């Protein structure tokens, strides 16, 4: 029996096991939404903005490892979702975005709400396609899901004209996909793996450097086995957090611009770096000519274009991280007959790292008056520990969360890395909560990031999704303000946000519980009350506005050239001055 394109669309999603999609209807996709409305296997979550839909699909994908799905209309529906596509592309998130398009006979005629969806999305998707014939729709959807989740994952866009959704064709969903020119490599080269094993067993100062690819490969077990077998210290990128237990004795936490002192020093003085699903981005490397000057590199990645892109790999291994590590662990076990010798070989290196950690631990000063943001995150960690999923927005709060929240389980850390998208955290948390209704999901955010997508409070309230929002409210775009303090003589150009809005009242307007801690003594009680609340809750924590995030590698500096504390020029007088004149356009009056 023939089906309409809209019916083929829905049946194809069922074949892919899709349980939920996020989106907003519009004229050219009304037929699809109408068919979705008449069935119960695929739930539609109505978001309040298309960017929110994209980030929810990302959060769902990151938390589950499955492909996230979004459906939006043409024109502004498409252009609003681009930020989410670019974010997913940078962070290798498996996602399929379906966009509506004007009827095929109107394409190119500047029809109402027409946009070149394929052209716009080409730089920020792994693959994109315009479906011109309803007979191609099922095959195209099958290929889209296959491309999104295989190889290096990423977002795929499928553009569906209005007439394609209404025309009819025989429905037959393909059993398999065979794409000429697309065949990801999963097994690593045996010779290169043996070479890597030999380097690992003789290295005196090795480091395992983990990126986000380890999580999408589900390689946490293999990494733990590899690290414990070889007794090699482990550091993680922002995207790699939770791929290795943060509280493990071999964990050095995050590396890079705001990474721990000891992880950056270990990388700088390492003689061997084993990069696992990481791409050596600039937030990690700092000044590339001085990056790990004494080290040889083993680079494992399923994407051959990521290897040698930024740093020369002495032993490149193209393959799936989980598969390659299994192969490597087998080879290491066959070569290593004495665990005691390995431990003795690594002991001086581990001792050196421990000394670096003792010399410059993560630190801050909490008094009885002004709440420090790090204190809120530490108290949150004490109350939640290894339970639940943490989603963050982007900025200082993101870095403090990465430093002080030691995730132990894979896929419990959701953040925007490559694109650094403010507004990501809250909708991503909603996506994760939809995937795991019974789990604790916490969004750590700030007033700057949160206001980018706060309209999704309506989505959380409508679906009664019990996301816990921990808002670190410093009245600034904090990371911008920090750079202005350090590099622009404290001129806070367009970074001061003030005390608008009242977030507790805002939460109430959406029918959501709102709480506030005005002093340090109230932080723990507010967190405890918010976490036990059965519905969504927003907890507002006004914090010290001039706290800076350290360690910090300044732009253009090497890994070992970290700034560990405020320079002397950042005096209280400079930070606490009150503007005496009318603020210039784009500026706010600074608090005393």
Output the CA torsion sign for 411, 412, 418, 423.
positive
Q: Can you say how many angstroms the Cα of residue 119 is from the centroid of all Cα atoms in its chain?
A: 25
Which residue in the list 112, 170, 382, 569 is annotated as catalytic?
A: 112
Cis peptide before 188 (omega within 30 of 0): no
Which listed residue (7, 11, 16, 50) is catalytic? 50
Q: Which of 152, 273, 266 is nearest to 210 (CA)?
A: 273
Left (φ > 0), alpha (ψ -120 to 50) or beta: where does 63 sit? alpha
Active site residue 561: no
The SS3 call for residue 510 is coil
Work out whether strand 168-170 and strand 2-4 pair parallel, antiparallel, or are unpaired: antiparallel
Q: Could you confirm whether 252 is annotated as catalytic? A: no
Among residues 479, 539, 552, 562, the one annotated as catalytic is: 479
Q: For this structure, is 244 an active site residue?
A: no
- Cα(261)–Cα(363) distance, integer angstroms: 11
| Secondary structure of 517-586 as H, E, C letters | CCCHHHHHHHHHHHHHCCCCEEEEEECCCCCCCCCECCCCCCCCCCECCCCCCCCHHHHCCCCCCCCCCC
Q: Which residue of the set 113, 350, 366, 455 is catalytic?
A: 113
C-alpha 476/C-alpha 492 separation (Å) is 9
Active-site entry in 3, 31, 66, 162 = 162
Residue 479 is a catalytic residue: yes
* 179 backbone dihedrals φ, ψ, rounded to 5°: -105, 115
In whole angstroms, give the CA distance from residue 272 to residue 312: 13
Q: Look up tokens 């007033």; give the residue.
A: 447
Report residue 255 as tokens. Answer: 């590396």
Could you confirm whether 90 is annotated as catalytic? no
Tokens, residue 128:
């994109």
161 beta partners: 101
Q: Which residues lie across from 26 on neighbouring strands?
A: none
Which residues are the active-site residues?
A: 50, 112-113, 162, 479
């Amino acid at each position: 029996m023939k089906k309409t394109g809209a019916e083929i669309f829905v049946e194809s999603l069922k074949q892919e096991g899709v349980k939920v999609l996020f989106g907003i209807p519009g004229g050219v996709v009304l037929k699809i939404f109408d068919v979705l409305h008449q069935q119960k296997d695929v739930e539609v979550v109505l978001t309040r903005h298309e960017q929110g839909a994209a980030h929810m699909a990302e959060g769902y994908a990151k938390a589950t490892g499955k492909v996230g799905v979004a459906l939006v209309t043409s024109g502004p529906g498409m252009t609003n979702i681009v930020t989410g596509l670019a974010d997913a592309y940078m962070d290798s998130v498996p996602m399929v975005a379906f966009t509506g398009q004007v009827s095929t006979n109107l394409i190119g005629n500047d029809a109402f709400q027409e946009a070149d969806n394929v052209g716009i999305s080409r730089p920020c998707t792994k693959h994109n396609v315009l479906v011109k014939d309803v007979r191609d729709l099922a095959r195209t959807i099958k290929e889209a899901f296959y491309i999104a989740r295989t190889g290096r994952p990423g977002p795929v866009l499928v553009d569906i004209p209005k007439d394609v959704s209404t025309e009819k064709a025989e429905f037959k969903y393909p059993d398999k996909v065979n794409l000429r020119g697309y065949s990801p490599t999963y097994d690593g080269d045996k010779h290169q793996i043996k070479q890597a094993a030999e380097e690992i067993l003789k290295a005196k100062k090795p480091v395992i450097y983990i990126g986000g690819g380890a999580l999408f490969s589900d390689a946490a077990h293999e990494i733990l086995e590899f690290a414990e077998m070889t007794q090699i210290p482990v550091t993680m990128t922002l995207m790699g957090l939770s791929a290795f237990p943060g509280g493990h004795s071999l964990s050095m936490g995050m590396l890079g611009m705001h990474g721990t002192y000891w992880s950056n020093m270990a990388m700088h003085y390492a003689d061997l770096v084993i990069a696992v699903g990481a791409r050596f981005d600039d937030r990690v490397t700092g000044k590339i000519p001085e990056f790990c000057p004494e080290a040889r590199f083993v680079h494992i990645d399923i994407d051959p274009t990521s290897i040698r892109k930024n740093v020369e790999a002495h032993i490149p291994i193209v393959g799936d991280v989980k598969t390659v590590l299994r192969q490597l662990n087998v080879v290491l076990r066959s070569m290593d007959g004495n665990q005691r010798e390995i431990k003795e070989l690594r002991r001086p290196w581990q001792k050196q790292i421990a000394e670096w950690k003792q010399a410059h631990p993560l630190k801050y000063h909490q008094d009885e008056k002004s709440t420090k943001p790090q204190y809120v995150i530490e108290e949150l960690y004490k109350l939640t520990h290894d339970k639940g999923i943490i989603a963050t927005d982007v900025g200082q709060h993101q870095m403090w969360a990465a430093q002080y929240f030691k995730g132990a389980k894979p896929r419990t850390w959701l953040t925007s890395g490559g694109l650094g998208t403010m507004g990501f955290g809250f909708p991503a948390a909603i996506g994760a909560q939809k995937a795991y209704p019974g789990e604790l999901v916490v969004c750590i955010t700030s007033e700057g990031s949160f206001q980018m997508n706060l309209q999704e409070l309506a989505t959380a309230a409508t679906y009664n999704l019990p996301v816990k929002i921990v808002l670190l409210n410093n009245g600034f775009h904090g990371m911008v303000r920090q750079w202005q303090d350090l590099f622009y003589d404290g001129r806070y150009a367009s970074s001061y946000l003030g005390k608008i809005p009242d977030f507790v009242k805002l939460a109430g307007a959406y029918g959501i519980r709102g709480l506030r801690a005005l002093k340090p003594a109230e932080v723990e009680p507010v967190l405890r009350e918010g976490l036990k609340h059965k519905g969504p809750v927003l907890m507002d924590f006004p914090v010290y506005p001039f706290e800076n995030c350290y360690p910090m590698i300044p732009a253009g500096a090497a890994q070992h050239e970290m700034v560990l504390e405020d320079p002397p020029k950042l005096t209280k007088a400079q930070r606490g001055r009150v503007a005496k004149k009318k603020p210039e356009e784009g500026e706010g009056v600074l608090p005393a």
